[in-house]
Structure formats: C-alpha cells, structure tokens
Homo-oligomer: A and B are copies of this chain.
Amino acid sequence: MTSLRDVAERAQVAVSTVSAALNGTRPVKAETKRRIERAAAELGYRPNLLARGLVSKRTRILALLFPPPGSGFGLTEMQFATGAAEAAAELGYHLLLSPESADPVEELRYLTGMGLVDGVLLMEVRLADERTDFLLESGTPFAMIGRTREPGSLDYADIDFARTARDAVAHLAGLGHRAIALLNHSTGAYSPGYGPAVRAGEEFAAAAREAGLWYAGDVRADTAGEGRLAFERLMAEHPEVTAVAAMSDQAAVGVLQAVEERGWRVPGDLSLLLASASARVAEMFRPRLTTLEPPGAELGRLGARMLIDRLESPGSPPAQRLVPCRLVIGDSSAPPRGSGAAR
C-alpha cells in the first residue's frame, strides 16, 4: 500500500502539504497541488475522492449549466465550456456539463441536493434570472458568465458591451458613416430579458449618440429570412443607413442575400459587421466580414477561477470582470456609398 509519505517523497514536499493538497484543508499552490496529485497517481495511491469528500464535504466538482441545443448555442458558448473546464483542471477541479431542462430551478435543486457539486457556473444569464435567487437562498456558491440587471455583489465575468460598442462605432465613424443600424436578436430564440441583446442595444445606442451618428436600434432578426426582410424594411424606412452590425450570423446571411438582390455590393454599398461572432465564423463569409469577436474562452476561464476563489476564500470581495470583444477588421467595412471613396 502506498502511503502519504511515499507521495510526499516523490513530489518532494512535506507530508502535511500532501495532506492539505489532497484533502483541501488549507490552500496549496496550484502547481504544487498538481505535482502532488500526479505523484499520487503515478504511485497508484488512491486518495479516494469519495471518502475525502465525506470528510471535507467537498467534491472539487463544479457544474456548468448549459442551454439545450437549438437555442442558438454556438462556438462562443462552447468556448465558455472548454475555457472553464481547462481553468478548473489547472486548479485541481472538475467541470460537470449539466444540460438545462424546461425547469432550470428544479434542475438546480436536484443537482445541488445530491451533494455532488461544490458550486455552479451559470451561463446565458437573463437580466432577471430566477436561478440566481435559488442559488442565493440555498447558499450554493456560484459565478456567472454574463450577469443579471443588478448583479450587486455577485461574482461574474461578462462582455464589456460599452467598450465593444464604442470600438465598433468608432471604426464606422472613422470610415465616414453617419447613419448606422444594429440588427439585434429577435424575440424568437431570445426572449426580451436576454442580457446580451439588451446591453448591446443600449450600448450601441449610447456609443452612436456620443459619436454623433444617427442610429436605428429597433431592427431585429435571428434567421436568414428575418434578416433579409428586416434589412429591406430598414432600407425602405431609413435609406440613409450605410452600415449594419448584426448580432446573429444567420441574420447576416439574410442581409447579404438582400444586398445581392438589390444589385448592391458589400462593402461598396453597405458596410456589414458581425456584432458577436468569432473571426473563424466571419472568415467563412464572402466577403470576409468585419467582426466583434467575443472573448469566449477567457470568460469561461475567468468564471471558473472566480468560482474556485469563492469556494476557497468565501469572504473575499466580489470578483466582477468585463472583457471587450476584439474588433477584427475584414473586407466588409469601407467608406459609405456615395462618398466617392469606396467605388
């Protein structure tokens, strides 16, 4: 039988450090902890996580609640998951992928009632999110990727929509555009309380106002068909608009169809941006679209780290981080039509 002492020798640390690392009784540097866990594994030492969990009441398992497929879950959301799983692994934790049912609070009650997870990571957070109420009442540690309307002292990592909108508007204003539109999410897939849609709408409006641009914000589309119709309506009502940023990449497909049908071209007749898509997605379009790339993996990593910090130092101050999207300039943004510069 391998003993704690054997593990300590192999990892070249004190026995008390091995015990602390394996039982989570006091903080041990992540790198040291990892070395100890590897030494234990190499020697076939079975700390028995279950027995440890009974004593420490901790499992070192975090749950990430993810939305059901067909809800628009895409590459960015996948990056939340993989980023969080990697950050958790680096700190000696495990990430459980928990699909959400129609009743997320009941799901949470089930999940936390089993003693399986130490804490919960939320994503697709709504402005008023009943899940946070349940987690607060039940005393379950949690962190959010995204945030509620008034996150108060809750831990979160979210997109810096204000800075992202300013960067995008500055790019368009710099090219000479005077009237722009945000093609926001429609209320189909995303109900009215969906945080990113509301915040993007507010912040694009504010950034346009500050930059002195005319702004159409009440245009919505999530599918190619909706995007095509919404763009046609926009052009009928506001022919002065020369640049559009689309929140949904599917809606952007529809805008491109409508542009083609009018015999127009991107970017000569219309500048088209993706408001929330990876450069990899933007590159598939012809022309390659300018995009605001969300920091998916970084937000996932930050969320997991915050939650682990909260578990290990319950009394620490709230961790709240905003990270802007990265403006990746493609071939779809140029001076406005009629300016003489783009033709």
Contact = CB atoms under 8 A, between A and B. Distances in A.
A299 to B, nearest CB: 13
B94 A82 contact: no
A69 B82 contact: yes
A218 interface: no
A297 B73 CA distance: 13
Contact of A98 (B42, B85, B250): B85
A71 to B, nearest CB: 10
Contacts of A69: 79, 82-83, 86, 297
B49 A51 contact: no
Interface residues of A, number: 59
B78 A250 contact: no
B73 A82 contact: yes
Nearest to A81: B97
Contacts of A286: 256, 260, 285-286
Contacts of A284: 249, 252-253, 281, 284-285
B99 A89 contact: yes
Interface in A248-290: 249-250, 252-253, 256, 260, 280-281, 283-286
A95 B94 contact: no
Q: Is the interface of A mostly helix, strand, loop or mixed?
A: helix
Contacts of A83: 69
A74 interface: yes
Contacts of A113: 40-41, 44-46
A48 B50 CA distance: 11
Given A69-B82, A79-B69, A116 B98 contact: no
A96 interface: yes
Interface in A54-73: 54, 59, 61, 64, 66, 68-69, 73
A113 B49 CA distance: 9
A37 interface: yes
Interface in A94-122: 94-99, 106, 109-110, 113-116
A78 B51 CA distance: 33
A68 B64 CA distance: 18
A311 to B, nearest CB: 17
A316 B48 CA distance: 29
Contact of A59 (B47, B50, B51): B50
24 contacts: A40-B113, A41-B109, A41-B114, A42-B109, A45-B113, A47-B114, A48-B114, A48-B115, A50-B54, A50-B59, A51-B54, A54-B54, A61-B61, A69-B297, A81-B81, A85-B97, A85-B98, A94-B98, A95-B96, A95-B97, A96-B97, A260-B286, A284-B284, A285-B285
Q: 5 smallest A-B Cβ distances: which pairs?
A: A78-B78, A85-B97, A41-B110, A50-B53, A284-B284
Interface of A: 37-38, 40-42, 44-51, 53-54, 59, 61, 64, 66, 68-69, 73-75, 78-79, 81-83, 85-86, 89, 94-99, 106, 109-110, 113-116, 224, 249-250, 252-253, 256, 260, 280-281, 283-286, 297
Given A50-B54, A250-B283, 9 more contacts: A37-B110, A38-B110, A41-B114, A46-B114, A49-B115, A89-B99, A94-B116, A253-B283, A284-B285
